Amino acid sequence: MRLGRRNRQGGARHDRTDRCVADLVGALGPERVRADGAARHLASADASMFSDGTAGPVCFPDSTEHVQAVMRVAASHDRAVLPRGAGSGLSGGAAPLGDPIVVSTTRMNRVLEVDAEDRVAWVQPGVVNLDLSRQVAPLGLHFAPDPSSQQVCTIGGNVANNSGGPHCLAYGVTSAHVLAVEVVLSSGEAVVLGGLDAEPSGYDLRGAFVGSEGMFGIATKIAVRLTPDPESIKTLLLSFDSVADAAATVGAVIASGLVPAAVEMMDQRCVAAVEDFVQAGYPREAAAVLLIEVDGLSRGVEADTRKVAEIGRAHGGNVRVAADEEERALLWKGRKSAFGAIARVAPDYYLHDTVVPRSKLVEVLKAVYEIVDRHDLVAVNVFHAGDGNLHPLLAYDSRQPGANERVAAAGQEILEVSLAVGGVLSGEHGIGVEKRDFMEFQFTAADLEQQALLRRSFDPHCRLNPGKVLPSAHSCADVASLSASRPDGVWG
């Protein structure tokens, strides 16, 4: 893992891309290709702190045919290709290695077809997650996966990272809501994986594609399942004097047989940062707060709300139920802005993402606090407590000498603790470059070889998003194609 301040390399660069750019312009038209330093610099990073390469020309296709044309030009120049959605990823998935042609999907942003009866929508990959839900709201439907970044991230990015969100506890992550994907392969061929039937025959290639982090192909159309809005929703805010009480409450709620729509936890420091931004009345003095949502038919929701409140109080919690939709929206706005609100604490952050068994939450959290203290860092914790998906956020100032190294060391120790108690590497942010070199901690060489084989069967030349996910020993031609073209920078 290499941490560094976002992309500050400069330097001259001889432009071997001229002919390639000319071909791209020929295929797409000049208004859909940018090869200048400004555009390339900005396509060289996502929302993470990882960046090693620099974007080559940046393309803005608006159709499947455009994407196919880019793939063919890339093949003829033997160039790598990197799909890019909103660039909100946190694991460096959309941050280039080498100098790939970047395919930005932001102009492929149309909802193509909505079937309210079958609750299916065909969308282009650049449709913003929340825009889709807004657009189908009048039909009483929504797209269930709701990452905290849902106002900005694209459905294509959600599919590539198999993203989750607070409400995925009850409804399942992205994969459960994708029926079919039209994919442009590195050959330029377009294929449809999956289908609208309940049980499409043959292998579930759709399932393989979801979560492939831009390395199997570029999604150009996606059929998503739409979920009916619940008849009734209640949101409870529970505050506790200790993180252990909050964690015990989560365990007890789930053990009681309830399946809340969402169970989110924030610690004190996080609450403070969030409250400064939204002023939703989050209790600053509490050691931890839980945001629990129950939904369904009105009568059941009333009963579930009472039950959750009882369990919370039995664990010493203070309970507040959002009185109306406005209060509810404000509480969620706070939760969903938590990462950004961290800017109030320090100029840089590293957002971790691991999953541990729920029963180990308290133990792992204790270890996290101990690790960051020892490395003289500040940690803010905000996470999907219902499924044990931890998001320790390390706030720091990368200009302090040694800060990057301390963050990297603490990050690795947190991972090791999570894996030691039976957890996994990543809950929802993907592997990207961030966790690539840790894959060997979780998988055997044979496991990784199988993954590499799958990857090569989609993309034999390893042209798509090379160098990600799989550690170098398993990533076939990636290494060769990257070392062949280490660029110096975009301002040549």
Partner 1 sequence: MTDSLGLLGVDQAELDSCVACGLCLPHCPTYRVTGADTHSPRGRIALMRVVDEGIAPLSDEIVESFDSCIQCRACETACPGDVPFGHLLEATKEFVETTQRRAPWWLKLGLRGLTRPRLLRFVSSSLAVAQRLRLVPSRRMGIPERLPVRRRALRPTGDDVWLFTGCVMDAWQRDVHLATKEVVEATGTTVRPTGDAAPCCGALHTHAGLGDDARKLAARVISALDGDNAILVNSAGCGAALKDYGRLLDSDEARAFSERVLDVHEWLADRIDQIEMPDAQARTGGRVAIQDPCHVRHVQGTHMAVRRVLEPFVSELVELDDEGMCCGAGGAFSLVQRQLALDVRDRKTAAIDRAEADVVVSANPGCSMHLAAAGHAVRHPVELIAEALRSR
Query: Which of the listed partners (ligand SF4, partner 1, ligand FAD, none) does 154 bind, with a CB threshold of 5 to 8 Å by partner kind?
Result: ligand FAD
Structure token pair of residue 241: 């004097």
Nearer to ligand FAD among residue 148 and residue 475 (C-beta): 148
Note whether 334 binds ligand FAD by CB under 6 A. no
Q: For residue 411, what is the enclosing H or E element?
A: helix 403-420
Nearer to ligand FAD, 309 or 339 (CB): 339
Closest CA to 217 of 189, 191, 195, 184: 184
When asked if residue 125 is in the footprint of ligand FAD (CB under 6 A), the reply is: yes
CB atoms within 10 A of CB 325: 10
Does 148 contact ligand FAD by CB under 6 A? yes
Q: Which is nearer to ligand SF4, 116 or 343 (CB)?
A: 343
CB of 394 to ligand SF4, least distance (A): 17
User: Which element (helix H / strand E) includes 327?
Assistant: helix 325-336
Query: How many angstroms separate the CA atoms of 490 and 37, rounded?
Result: 5
* Size, binding site for ligand SF4 by CB under 6 A: 2
Q: Angle 461-462-466 (CA atoms, 0-180°, nearest 5)?
A: 150
Choose which of 56, 57, 164, 392 interacts with ligand FAD (CB under 6 A). Answer: 164
As a whole number of angstroms, the distance between CA 9 and CA 237 comes to 45
Options 80, 101, 128, 470; binder of partner 1; rule CB under 8 A: 128
Q: Give the Cβ contact number of residue 241 at 10 Å.
A: 14
Residues 48-87 that bind ligand FAD (CB under 6 A): 82-87
Residue 472: alpha-carbon gap to chain centroid:
23
Residues 6 or more apart in contact with residue 440 via CB below 8 angstroms? 448, 471
Q: Is there binding between residue 340 and partner 1 (CB under 8 A)?
A: yes
**Chosen residue from 99, 267, 348, 428 binding partner 1 by CB under 8 A:** 348
User: Residue 47 CB, nearest distance to ligand SF4 (Å)?
Assistant: 8
Non-local CB neighbours of 464 within 8 Å, separated by 6+ positions: 80, 81, 82, 83, 186, 214, 215, 216, 217, 218
295-354 residues in contact with ligand SF4 (CB under 6 A) are 340, 343
DSSP per-residue letters across 446-463: HHHHHHHHHHHHH-TT--
Q: Is 90 in the site for ligand FAD (CB under 6 A)?
A: yes
Nearer to ligand SF4, 148 or 354 (CB): 148
Under rule CB under 6 A, which residues in 246-305 are in contact with ligand FAD?
A: none
Q: Using CB positions, name the residue nearest to ligand FAD.
A: 157
Q: Which amino acid is at 205?
A: L
Q: Using the rule CB under 6 A, give the single segment among 25-33, 142-150, 274-282, 312-320 that binds ligand FAD.
A: 142-150
Q: Which of these, 398, 395, 400, lies nearest to 379 by C-alpha position?
A: 395
Name the closest residue to ligand SF4 (Cβ).
340
Pick the closer one to partner 1 by CB: 34 or 463.
34
User: 416, 370 in Cβ contact below 8 A?
Assistant: no
Out of partner 1, ligand FAD, ligand SF4, none, what residue 218 binds, judged by CB under 5 to 8 A for its kind, is: ligand FAD
Residues that bind ligand FAD (CB under 6 A): 46-47, 82-90, 93-94, 105, 125, 147-149, 153-154, 156-158, 160-161, 163-165, 213-214, 218-219, 339-340, 428-429, 465
Residues that bind ligand SF4 (CB under 6 A): 340, 343
